[in-house]
């Protein structure tokens, strides 16, 4: 956001604290603070009104997404914007089902209008090429994680023992999906594959994994 020219203060909100918060808060180049807060009670959130709110693959984790949308609308300044990205109805084939729900394309606009927000733009994210790329990446990675954990469980004599006695390799397996991004070559290859898939998806925009929305306070 800073590199894009954004100015002001960033306020991050999550249901639990993250170890990286302190490091980011003390970065002099970025004015940021982080709060542990329940999104279902945004009216009591410290700060605001805000000019911009970002909710990237979070709404599916809210038990009452309509309540959260209303609270979000009240926390935005007049003329303020929200960018909301949610998993599409096709996403379980990629990510499996997580959270409470997936979304059809028109659901977030319905929630936004009921909360008094205007929908400036709706856009699909991904397409057939991206779907195939991510399906291969996620499912191969998932198979590696499950196979590795099964081997550790056999070696330790049970899953609970493996998690306790072999905690480091067990935790390392959870990061297998992003292991290649630890290296410059892996990052470059990942970016190039994404760019190539995105170019194809511009011409073949079917099976989007996500839907994105730009919302505005009138």
pLDDT (tens digit, 9 = 90+) per residue, 142-198?
888 889 899 999 999 998 988 889 988 888 888 777 777 778 888 888 889 888 888
Contacts 24+ apart (CB under 8 A), 21-25: none
Structure-token pair, residue 147: 């196979």
Pair of tokens at residue 43: 């009216």
Choose between 91 and 75: higher pLDDT. 75
Q: How many CB atoms lie within 10 A of CB 84?
A: 26
Beta-bridge partners for 52: 81
Phi/psi zone of residue 97: left (φ > 0), alpha (ψ -120 to 50 degrees), beta?
A: beta
Distance CA 193, CA 200 (A): 11
Spatial separation of the C-alpha atoms in residues 112 and 121, rounded to whole Å:
12
Outline where the chain has alpha helix (H).
20-25, 65-75, 92-95, 107-114, 128-156, 159-165, 167-174, 184-203
Q: Is the pLDDT of residue 26 over 70?
A: no
pLDDT at 125: 87
């Amino acid at each position: 956001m800073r590199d894009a020219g954004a100015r002001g203060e960033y306020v991050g909100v999550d249901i639990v604290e993250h170890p990286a918060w302190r490091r980011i808060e003390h970065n002099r180049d970025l004015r940021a603070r982080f709060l542990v807060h329940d999104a279902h009670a945004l009216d009591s959130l410290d700060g605001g009104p805000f000019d911009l709110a970002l909710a990237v693959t979070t709404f599916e984790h809210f038990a009452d997404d309509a309540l959260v949308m209303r609270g979000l609308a009240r926390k935005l300044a007049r003329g303020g914007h929200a960018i909301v990205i949610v998993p599409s109805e096709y996403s379980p084939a990629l990510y499996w089902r997580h959270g409470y729900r997936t979304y059809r394309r028109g659901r977030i606009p319905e929630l936004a209008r009921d909360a008094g927000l205007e929908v400036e733009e709706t856009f699909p994210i991904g397409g057939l090429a991206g779907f195939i790329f991510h399906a291969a990446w996620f499912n191969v990675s998932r198979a590696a994680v499950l196979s590795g954990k099964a081997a550790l469980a056999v070696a330790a004599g049970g899953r609970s023992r493996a998690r306790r006695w072999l905690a480091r390799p067990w935790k390392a397996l959870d990061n297998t999906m992003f292991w290649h991004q630890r290296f410059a070559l892996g990052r470059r290859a990942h970016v190039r594959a994404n760019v190539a898939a995105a170019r194809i998806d511009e011409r073949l925009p079917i099976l989007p994994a996500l839907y994105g929305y730009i919302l505005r306070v009138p």
